[in-house]
Structure 1
Amino acid sequence: MRKRLVCFLFLSGALIALTGCGVERGPMKLADEPAVSGRPDSVVSAAPVVQGAVTPVPTSKVIPTDISAPTDAPLLPAKLPSLAQTLVERYHKAVPAKWGENIPGVRTHLVTQDKVIALTFDACGGKEGSGYDEKLIDYLIKEQIPATLFVNARWLAANPDIFAKLAANPLFEIENHGTEHRPLSVNGRAAYGIAGTKDVSNVIREVTENADEIEKRTGRRPLFFRSGTAFYDDIAVDIAHDLGFQLAGYNVLGDAGATFNTEQVYHALTKARSGSIILAHMNHPEKDTAEGVMKAIPVMQKAGFRFVHLSAYPVE
C-alpha cells in the first residue's frame, strides 16, 4: 500500500488538503539553460527501490476555472476560488529556472526492480490528431495488456462514445493530457512550435478543466497529468503538485509523436527495462504505432516482462 503525504492549508476558515505542498516561492533568477529539443529513444535504467515513496493525493475539491490572470498584483479573493487564488498569490511573480521534459518533479520510471513496464498512450486531439487507433486498442484488449491512456479534452470531445468504452474497460487507466494540449509554463514558453500556458491561472485551467471533465464522465479524478509535448517549467511543476497531481514523464520514447515507422517503434520498445514508462500515441491510426507495438510485445513478454498501469507502483 502506498504511503500518502498530505499537507493542510487553512483558507477562509476551511481546511483544504494540498499534495506536493510546494513551498511559497519568490522571484528567482532565470538560469541560462537552453530548452530541451527532444529526447533520444534510449532508456534510463530503473532506479533502486525507494522505501516510503510518497504518492500525492488528488484533491477531492473541484476547482472552478473562471480565473483571470493577475496584472501587477494578485486578484482579490472574491474573483477566485480560495485554492486557485492562493496559488496565484504564491506564484504570480516567480520566474522559472528550469525547462524541459526531465526536470525535478516529473516522474520518469516506476520504482521497482520487478520486470514490469508501463505502457502509456497519449490521445492529443485537435490539430495534433483526434483519430482513434482501433487496431492498437483491439490488440491490447485481445492480448489483455493493461495500458494507461492520457486523454486530452479535445480528443474526448471528438470521441465521447469511444472514451466511455475505454473508461469502462478495467484494462485501461484514464489520465489527464490537458485541456488545450499545451506545454505547462507560467510565461508562454513554447515547445515544438506549440505555445505554452501563459501564466499561473492558465496553468490551473490547463490542468484542472480536463480533470474535471474526466471525473464528471468516469466518477474518478485522474491521478496523473502529462502536458502537451511533455514539457514543463519548474514553477508549473510546483503548481501542478499543489493541485494534487503527479506529473507523468517517460524514459522510453515509443513512437516520437507517432512519427516512427514499425521497425523504429519495435526497436524503441524492446530497449525497455524494469520500471520503464513508455510514451506512444493512440490518436493516429494512419501511422505505424500499432504495428510496432504488436511486433514488440510478444518479444518483451518472452523476455519475462509484464505490463502494468502507471498507478501500480510508485513513480519517480
Structure 2
Amino acid sequence: MIPRVRRITAVCAMGAALTACGAAGGVRQAPARPTVSASPAASRPPVLAPGPGGLTPVFDHGPRTRGRTLALTFDADMTADQGPRAAAGEHFDNPGLIRALRALKVPATIFMTGRWADEYPAEARSLGHDPQFEVANHSYSHYAYTEKCYGLPALDPGEMREDVEKAYASLRNAGVPHALPYFRFPGGCYDQRALRALSGAGVTAVQWDVVSGDAFATDADAVTRQVLEGVKPGSVVAMHCTRSAAPTTEKVVRAVVPELRKRGYRFVKVSELIGETGKHR
C-alpha cells in the first residue's frame, strides 16, 4: 500500500491490521538503470539484466522520449492474517475498479499478493486470463523486505525468496496461467540486502515514479489532481485495488483516464515500458 503524499496526509494502520503503506519513504536505493535482457522466446516478457554483482534489477519508469505512454499499476494487497476480516465482510478486492478498467479499455498491471489470490481465486483467475491485464508478484503475505517499513512485519533475508516463490504458487493455484517475472516490494521498501536475497529468482523489481495517493484517501478529486500533476511520458503510476483501504480508486480512474487521453497519453502495461527501455535507453 502506498501512502498519500504532498496534499494528502498518509495514514497507516500499524501491526497485524496493517494492509501496508510505502513509496515516498521507506528504504529505497536507486541503482543505475540496468539494461534490458529480452527472452529468447518472443512470447516471454522482457526483463532487465541483473545489476552489479548479480543484484535484482529495479525498474521505476520507462523512457521519457518515446512518446506519451504510461502504465497504471494496481496493488492487490492482503496480509497473511487478514482472513478473519475478509470473512467478516471487509473487501480487499475491488470489482468495480476492474469493471471500470475494462469499460475504458485500459490495459493495466496488477501486482497481486499470494494471500489475495488465495482469498479471491475467481477474480485472480479472471484477471490472469484477460489479455487486457498482466498479473505480477507482490509477495505472499505483504510483509516487509526491510526493517522499518511503515510498521509492516519484516522478513528475514533467508525468507524473502521463499516468500516470492510462495506467492507464485498461490497465483498458479488460483488459475493465473502466466504470472509475469515482475515483483513489487511491499511498501516499496528495499535495500541491497533485499536485492541480493532475490538474486537468481529471475524477477525484475518494479517500483514507480508517480504516487497516486489513493491509499486511505477519501478525497477522489485530490488524488486525481495528484496523478495528473505527476504523470510524465513513461510514468508508472502506483494505485490500489483494495476497496477497504483505497475506496476512491475507481472514481479516480474514471476521471484521469479520459483526461490523460485528451492530453495524448496512451496506456500500456509495465512489460511494454520495460521493452521500450531496453530498445531505447
- Do Structure 1 and Structure 2 share a fold, with TM-score over 0.5? yes
Give per-residue Cα distances to partners, 1:60-108, cap 9 Å, x unaligned.
Answer: xxxxxxxxxxxxxxxxxxxxxxxxxxxxxx9xxxxxxxxxxxxx94311
Larger Rg: 1
Q: TM-score, normalised by structure 2?
A: 0.72
Q: Structure 1 residues 112 and 223 mapped into 2: Cα distance closer, same or farther (>3 Å)?
A: farther
Matches of 1:221 and 1:174, distance apart in 2: 5
SS in 2 for 1:121: strand
Letter matched to residue 202 of structure 2: G
**Contact 2:208/2:236 (8 A) holds in 1:** yes
Q: Indicate the structure with greater helix content.
A: 2
Show the counterpart of 2:227: 269
**Contact 2:68/2:232 (8 A) holds in 1:** yes
**Contact 2:112/2:137 (8 A) holds in 1:** yes
Aligned with 1:304 (options 226, 251, 264) = 264
Matched residues, percent identical?
Answer: 23
**Contact 1:179/1:207 (8 A) holds in 2:** yes
Q: Can you give the 5+ residue segments of structure 2 that lack an aligned partner in the other structure? A: 1-21, 26-31, 40-52
Deviation at residue 112 of structure 1 after TM alignment? 4.8
**Contact 1:178/1:228 (8 A) holds in 2:** yes
Show the counterpart of 2:35: 53
1:225 maps onto 2:183 in alignment: yes
**Contact 1:112/1:275 (8 A) holds in 2:** yes
Show the counterpart of 1:155: 116
SS in 2 for 1:274: coil
Letter matched to residue 207 of structure 1: V
Deviation at residue 221 of structure 1 after TM alignment? 4.0
Letter matched to residue 140 of structure 2: T
1:259 maps onto 2:217 in alignment: yes
**Contact 2:61/2:273 (8 A) holds in 1:** no
SS in 2 for 1:278: strand
1:168 maps onto 2:129 in alignment: yes
Show the counterpart of 1:288: 248
Deviation at residue 228 of structure 1 after TM alignment? 1.4
Letter matched to residue 220 of structure 2: T
The correspondence of residues 174-253 of structure 1 with structure 2, limited to 5 A, is: 174-185=135-146, 189-199=147-157, 201-216=158-173, 217-253=175-211
SS in 1 for 2:221: helix
SS in 2 for 1:175: strand
SS in 2 for 1:242: coil
Matches of 1:121 and 1:38, distance apart in 2: 14
Deviation at residue 231 of structure 1 after TM alignment? 0.5
Show the counterpart of 1:119: 72
**Contact 1:240/1:246 (8 A) holds in 2:** no
Matches of 1:260 and 1:125, distance apart in 2: 20
Q: How many residues align?
A: 225
Q: Structure 1 residues 260 and 246 mapped into 2: Cα distance closer, same or farther (>3 Å)?
A: farther
Deviation at residue 288 of structure 1 after TM alignment? 0.8
SS in 2 for 1:301: helix
Q: Can you give the 5+ residue segments of structure 1 that lack an aligned partner in the other structure? A: 1-36, 41-46, 58-89, 91-103
**Contact 1:252/1:276 (8 A) holds in 2:** yes
Matches of 1:140 and 1:165, distance apart in 2: 13
